[in-house]
Amino acid sequence: MKKTTNNKKIIRYFVSGFKNLENFWWTCFLFFISIGFLLTGFSSYYNKNLFWFINNQNIQFFPQGFIMICFGLIGIILAIFLTLVLLWGIGSGFNEFNKQNLYIRIFRWGFPGTNRCIDLYYSWENVLKIIVELNKGLFFQYIIFLEVKEKNKKKYKIPLINIGNFITFEEIEKQISALSKFLKIPISIKV
């Protein structure tokens, strides 16, 4: 979360969503690997080396070449989809905490269509606490949530940062302590 606006009444944090250098790199990597699979499959079909540095005379078209063409096509389709997601800025937006008008606004961009932008407003008194959870996967990752209650007394956890961003615990401490002081709500840490 990058802070873009900070005065005594309004804090706005920018959320980058899917747009980051790592996702761009993986999209390019997937595209070029898929092209390699596709060209290797077609060179086994034509019995010619389309790559000057790869000798594919030992690859038969059926089943190896055919499977390589299928993998190449699937990879290219997935790379095109990821490129569109990057261009559309899926998941990007901002979190606005407005003490002047007593509301919290969560704005995110989604897929194109009638519901492209997600624009949520919450009343200041419906905010209960800030939750920090440790996501234990391949890499440890901390996620910041804002817990709010609706009119029907149901509680919701709204993520405030990118799920894929890796942030150190010190940075999380600074962000949530500043936000907790501004909102005057408690912090809950779940490990």
Read off the pLDDT of residues 176-187 as tens digits, 9 standing for 90 and up: 888 889 888 998
Question: Given this model, what pLDDT does residue 7 score?
Answer: 67
Architecture of domain 2-19+90-190: Roll (2.30)
Residue 161 tokens read as 């940062």
Read off the pLDDT of residues 68-118 as tens digits, 9 standing for 90 and up: 999 999 999 999 999 999 999 998 999 999 998 999 999 999 999 888 999
Task: Provide CATH 2.30.29 ranges for the chain.
Answer: 2-19+90-190
Q: Say whether pLDDT at 59 is over 90.
A: no
Read off the pLDDT of residues 35-50 as tens digits, 9 standing for 90 and up: 989 988 888 888 877 7
Prediction pTM value: 0.77
**Maximum average pLDDT range among 51-60, 87-96, 130-139:** 87-96
Q: Say whether pLDDT at 53 is over 70.
A: no
Do you know the residue count of the chain? 191
Question: Given this model, what pLDDT does residue 16 score?
Answer: 85
Q: What is the largest CA-CA distance in the chain?
A: 72
**Do 183 and 96 meet the contact criterion of CB atoms below 8 Å apart?**
no
Q: What is the DSSP string of 80-118?
A: HHHHHHHHHTTT-EEEEEETTTTEEEEEEE-SSSTT-EE
Question: Given this model, what pLDDT does residue 75 score?
Answer: 97
Task: Quote the DSSP letter at residue 78.
Answer: H
Q: Which residue has the tokens 């609706």?
A: 150
Question: Given this model, what pLDDT does residue 174 score?
Answer: 85
Read off the pLDDT of residues 151-190 as tens digits, 9 standing for 90 and up: 777 888 888 875 556 667 787 788 888 888 988 899 888 8
Looking at per-residue pLDDT, the higher value among 34 and 172 belongs to 34
